[in-house]
Every structure is written in C-alpha cells, then in structure tokens.
C-alpha cells in the first residue's frame, strides 16, 4: 500500500533518501509515475513553499527539498515518458531571466516528451536574447517560458517584445506557465496560451498546432 502522505512528509523534511526509497518502492508496487508525482512529490514541495511564505522555512530548506524532488524526478522520468506517442512537433522551453526554478519546467519537459514532442530545454535564467536566438536558429512550433517569481514574470513579456522587435513573433506560438501565472496574464502579455501543469501543457500545445 503506497503512502503518498509519507512521500510528501519526506519532501517537507528534505529527507532525500526516504523520498527516493518511497518513490522507488511505489514504482516497484506498480504505481504510475504520474500518481507518485502528483499525489506525493508536488503536494510536499507546495507545502514547503507555504512554510517558506509563513517564515517557518528559509532558503536552505527550499534548496534541500527541491533537491529531494529533483532526484526523485530522475527516477520517475522513464515512467512519465513511457507512453510512446507519434511525433507532435518541436518545442523549445526555458525558465525566464532572473529565475532559477526548474522543477516545474522539468516536469513539463517530461510530459511533452511523453506526448511525442521533441523538446529543446534552454535551462534556467534564459535571457530574451537567448530565447530569440533559439527561435531564429531552430524550427520550433512552440516556445515555452516558465516563471515562478512575480519579479521575473515581466521577463516573459520582455521576451515576447524582443521576438516582435526581431520579426520572429509569427514564427512560433508562445506558451507561458509557472505557479504565479494565469491565463489572463498570458493574454495580457500577448502569449498564445497558458497551462497550469504538465498534462494540460501537452494538451494545449497539441491544440495550438491543430492536433487536438
């Protein structure tokens, strides 16, 4: 019997070994990787964020819990990618300038790959210029930008402005996401779509290129 709450608790405690062992056991018990992610890891890391917001946790706790999730994600990756879908398109993604959060982006990358997308991951702290260069040089259908800080959200808007200024905006569809972002904000900055999680990103991306 898998105890998702125990996985969440171990994430909150930043207990890497226990997170890894419980996730491994759950996989061995035949629990789908997506369930371990959504019912164990994600509630845990969100709780860490709440404790941080309340001043009960500080940066070191965020770092340790983030690493615990990151390690477990590597374990879950093959499971998240195992549905072999037919080729959908090419997606380039990165976390915006000034922002180093990448757990959510990495989940999105796994989900996209699992749904037939060829994904180029530019990493974190990606400048508008670097996003533009990638779009100029590649033949991507969609550009995705992740932003976890309200302070860095304007850098997604700046990237769209830079794409426009460089005459590249029509070359690519733009999707944005990250915990503080919303569909209304996406529309406001001129993105084509917003998605709240990995599965929704895959579904919305397919719809954006007319392959619903």
Chain positions contacting ligand B12, by CB under 6 A: 42, 45-46, 48-49, 52-53, 59, 62-63, 66, 70, 93, 98-105, 107-108, 144-146, 148-151, 175-180, 195-198, 201
Smaller CB distance to ligand B12: residue 28 or 146?
Answer: 146
Q: How far is the CB of 129 from ligand B12 (least distance, A)?
A: 18
Please give the Cα distance from 1 to 92 (Å, whole number): 39
Smaller CB distance to ligand B12: residue 28 or 163?
Answer: 163
Cross-strand pairs, 176? 145, 194
CB-neighbour burial class of residue 181 (10 A; exposed 0-12, middle 13-18, buried 19+): buried
Q: How far is the CB of 101 from ligand B12 (least distance, A)?
A: 4
Which segments of the chain does DSSP mark as H helices, in order? 4-13, 16-28, 33-36, 42-53, 59-80, 103-114, 128-137, 153-165, 183-188, 198-208
How would you label 202-211 residue by residue, b for 16+ Cβ within 10 Å and e otherwise?
bebbbebeee
Smaller CB distance to ligand B12: residue 20 or 52?
Answer: 52
Q: How far is the CB of 3 from ligand B12 (least distance, A)?
A: 20
Please give the Cα distance from 6 to 30 (Å, whole number): 17
Q: Which residues contact 54 (CB under 8 A, 6 or more apart)?
A: none
Q: How far is the CB of 140 from ligand B12 (least distance, A)?
A: 13
What tokens appear for 172 in the block?
């690519």
Smaller CB distance to ligand B12: residue 52 or 185?
Answer: 52
Smaller CB distance to ligand B12: residue 78 or 183?
Answer: 183
Identify the residue whose tokens are 């374990």. 75
Q: How far is the CB of 53 from ligand B12 (least distance, A)?
A: 3
Smaller CB distance to ligand B12: residue 22 or 145?
Answer: 145
Q: How far is the CB of 95 from ligand B12 (least distance, A)?
A: 8
CA dihedral sign, ordered 78, 82, 87, 88: negative
């Amino acid at each position: 019997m898998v105890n998702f709450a125990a996985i969440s608790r171990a994430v909150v405690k930043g207990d890497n070994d226990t997170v890894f062992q419980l996730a491994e056991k759950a996989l061995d018990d035949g629990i789908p990787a997506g369930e371990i992610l959504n019912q164990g890891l994600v509630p845990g890391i969100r709780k860490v964020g709440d404790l941080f917001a309340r001043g009960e946790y500080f940066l070191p706790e965020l770092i340790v819990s983030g690493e615990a999730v990151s390690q477990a994600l590597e374990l879950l990756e093959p499971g998240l990618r195992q549905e072999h879908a037919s080729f959908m398109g090419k997606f380039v993604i990165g976390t915006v300038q000034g922002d180093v959060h990448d757990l959510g982006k990495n989940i999105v990358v796994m989900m996209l790959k699992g749904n037939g997308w060829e994904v180029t991951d530019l990493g974190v702290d990606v400048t508008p210029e670097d996003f533009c260069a990638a779009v100029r040089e590649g033949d991507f259908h969609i550009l995705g930008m992740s932003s976890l800080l309200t302070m860095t959200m304007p850098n997604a808007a700046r990237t769209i402005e830079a794409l426009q200024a460089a005459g590249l905006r029509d070359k690519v569809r733009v999707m944005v996401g990250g915990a503080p972002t919303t569909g209304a904000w996406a529309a406001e900055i001129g993105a084509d779509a917003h998605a709240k999680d990995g599965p929704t990103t895959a579904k919305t991306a397919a719809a954006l290129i007319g392959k619903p």
